[in-house]
């Protein structure tokens, strides 16, 4: 009989539904968000998954991979029956949780990169010169007609303070305006 293993509670209990071709072990974990441990795959849907060539029975573990409190996938481990004890189950769940956090971080990084690309595209097509500065006042990015208006390529301006880009006569007024902000 299938055993569902709840790593959070650290207790094994019997599941009331057998695995069938409508609800796979992985599908059940995605639906319930709970880990499942099947000690014996003798009833597996695919005959090749029921035992090793030497006749040794296989077991399986399916763990939810969570990111930001939601299921983003399933980590499926299959091996000789009784391969995974309680300690290994907890360790594997930790691995699944770390994998979920990594997947979510990758998604966030991709979204951030897409936003930065959209902003750069917008800035590059502006009819003005636009400079972005860091909190220390150094220019970190720019776009639009920087070279046409300021007479210098953007690459030459990166890392400079904005006041250094202005002509000497405009610097005191600029610094006065910045001090009042």
pLDDT the model gives residue 156: 94
pLDDT the model gives residue 19: 47
pLDDT the model gives residue 22: 56
Predicted model pTM: 0.49
pLDDT the model gives residue 23: 63
pLDDT the model gives residue 111: 92
pLDDT averaged per 10 residues, the chain (length 181) = 36 40 72 79 58 72 84 81 74 86 90 90 87 89 89 93 87 82 58
pLDDT the model gives residue 5: 37
- DSSP tag of 136: T
pLDDT the model gives residue 44: 58
pLDDT the model gives residue 11: 31
């Amino acid at each position: 009989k299938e055993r569902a293993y709840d790593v959070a509670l650290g207790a094994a209990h019997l599941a009331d539904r057998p695995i069938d071709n409508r609800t796979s072990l992985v599908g059940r974990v995605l639906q319930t968000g709970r880990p499942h441990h099947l000690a014996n795959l003798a009833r597996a849907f695919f005959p090749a998954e029921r035992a090793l060539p030497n006749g040794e029975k296989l077991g399986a573990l399916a763990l939810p991979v969570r990111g930001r409190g939601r299921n983003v996938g399933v980590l499926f481990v299959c091996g000789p029956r009784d391969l995974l004890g309680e300690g290994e189950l907890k360790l594997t769940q930790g691995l699944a949780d770390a994998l979920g956090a990594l997947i979510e971080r990758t998604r966030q990084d991709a979204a951030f990169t897409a936003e930065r690309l959209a902003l750069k595209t917008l800035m590059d097509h502006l009819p003005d010169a636009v400079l972005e500065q860091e909190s220390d006042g150094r220019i970190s990015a720019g776009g639009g007609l920087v070279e046409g208006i300021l007479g210098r390529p953007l690459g030459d301006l990166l890392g400079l303070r904005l006041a250094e880009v202005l002509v000497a006569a405009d610097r005191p007024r600029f610094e006065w305006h910045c001090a009042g902000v």
